[in-house]
C-alpha cells in the first residue's frame, strides 16, 4: 500500500513496487483521475491495483485497510508518503497553518502506521516505510511546521521499529532531499541554484530516485534493516 500515490514520489514508488512484483493499493486525497491513471500504469506490469480515497485526518485507516485486504490480500508493505506543505515565516504563520501540516503529515501518518502495524503484528511480518525529509533533520527557512512534522516522523519511525521488531515487522524511513515535484516548483531560481551548488551530484532528485530505496526497504533484501533513516539527497550539504 502506498499513500499519497496519485503523483510524485508516491506514484513513482507504486510503479517501482509493481515492477518488483507487488500488487499495489494506492490511496489519494482528492485527485481520483490521477490515482486512476497510476493504477492503470501499475496494472501494465502484470499485477493488480486498487485505488481508494483516504483522508489523512478524517477517514478510518482500519476500515480502509480492511477494504484493501478484501481486494488484494494482506498488506505486506506500506509506504506512508502522504503529506502537505503550508510554508510561511515562523513569526507570521497562523495556528491553522501549523495544525494543518502537523495533523496531515505527523498525526495522519501515525494513524495509518498504527492500523498497519496492528495487522502486520498478527501476520508476524511486514515492512513499513515512512516518508520523512532532510528538512526534518536540517530545518529550512519558512518551513517550521513542515520541518517539525518530518522530524516527528523520524522519532515515530525509530520508536515504532523497536515496538514492532519482536513481531517480525520492520519500520524504516526515507528522507528525500530536494526532488523535482510540485512541492519544489515554487522554489525561486536563486534558491534552486544554491541547492544545485551544494549538491555534489549537481541536480535535483527525481521521484524515481526515491522510489528505488523505498522498494529496497519494502523487499526481502532489507530483511535485517529496521529503525533506519535513509537519506536520498544527492550528498546535499546545504
Considering only CA atoms, which of 105, 107, 109, 58 is closest in space to residue 86? 105
Q: For position 123, what pLDDT does the model report?
A: 96
* Mean local confidence (pLDDT), 82-88: 92
> pLDDT by residue (tens digit) across 36-80?
999 999 999 999 999 999 998 888 999 999 999 999 999 999 999
Q: What is the pTM of this model?
A: 0.95
* Mean local confidence (pLDDT), 107-113: 97
Clarify whether 28 is annotated catalytic.
Answer: no
Torsion angle, alpha carbons of 28, 30, 36, 39, to 10: -10
Residues in the chain: 238
User: Using the 8-state DSSP alphabet, how is residue 207 labeled?
Assistant: H
Q: For position 169, what pLDDT does the model report?
A: 98
Q: SS3 helix, strand, coil % of the chain, rounded to 5?
A: 50, 15, 35
pLDDT above 70 covers a percentage of the chain that reads 97
pLDDT above 90 covers a percentage of the chain that reads 83
Confidence category of residue 180, pLDDT binned at 50, 70, 90: confident
What's the chain's average pLDDT?
94
CATH of 8-232, one of 3.40.50.1460, 3.40.800.10, 3.40.50.300, 3.40.50.720: 3.40.50.720
> pLDDT by residue (tens digit) across 19-36?
999 999 999 999 999 999
Nearest-5° Cα angle at 157, 192 to 207? 35
Q: For position 184, what pLDDT does the model report?
A: 62
Q: Which residues pair with 53 in a beta bridge?
A: 28
Nearest-5° Cα angle at 115, 86 to 75? 105
What are the residue ranges spanned by the domains of the chain? 8-232
Amino acid at each position: 500500500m502506498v499513500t499519497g500515490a496519485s503523483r510524485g514520489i508516491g506514484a513513482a514508488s507504486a510503479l517501482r513496487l509493481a515492477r518488483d512484483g507487488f500488487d499495489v493499493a494506492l490511496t489519494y486525497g482528492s485527485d481520483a483521475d490521477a490515482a486512476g491513471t497510476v493504477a492503470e500504469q501499475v496494472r501494465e506490469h502484470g499485477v493488480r491495483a486498487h485505488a481508494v480515497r483516504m483522508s489523512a485526518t478524517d477517514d478510518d485507516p482500519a476500515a480502509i485497510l480492511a477494504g484493501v485486504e478484501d481486494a488484494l490480500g494482506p498488506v505486506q508493505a506500506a509506504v506512508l508518503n502522504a503529506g502537505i506543505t503550508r510554508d510561511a515565516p515562523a513569526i507570521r504563520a497562523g495556528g491553522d497553518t501549523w495544525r494543518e501540516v502537523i495533523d496531515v503529515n505527523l498525526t495522519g501518518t501515525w494513524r495509518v502506521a498504527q492500523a498497519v502495524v496492528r495487522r502486520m503484528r498478527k501476520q508476524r511480518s511486514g515492512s513499513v516505510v515512512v516518508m520523512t525529509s532532510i528538512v526534518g533533520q536540517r530545518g529550512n527557512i519558512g518551513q517550521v511546521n513542515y520541518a517539525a512534522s518530518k522530524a516527528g516522523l523520524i522519532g515515530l519511525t525509530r520508536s515504532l521499529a523497536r515496538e514492532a521488531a519482536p513481531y517480525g515487522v520492520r519500520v524504516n524511513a526515507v528522507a528525500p532531499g530536494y526532488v523535482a515535484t510540485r512541492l519544489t516548483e515554487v522554489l525561486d531560481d536563486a534558491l534552486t541554484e544554491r541547492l544545485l551548488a551544494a549538491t555534489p551530484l549537481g541536480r535535483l532528485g527525481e521521484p524515481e530516485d526515491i522510489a528505488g530505496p523505498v522498494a529496497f526497504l519494502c523487499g526481502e533484501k532489507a530483511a535485517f534493516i529496521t529503525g533506519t533513516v535513509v537519506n536520498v539527497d544527492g550528498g546535499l550539504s546545504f
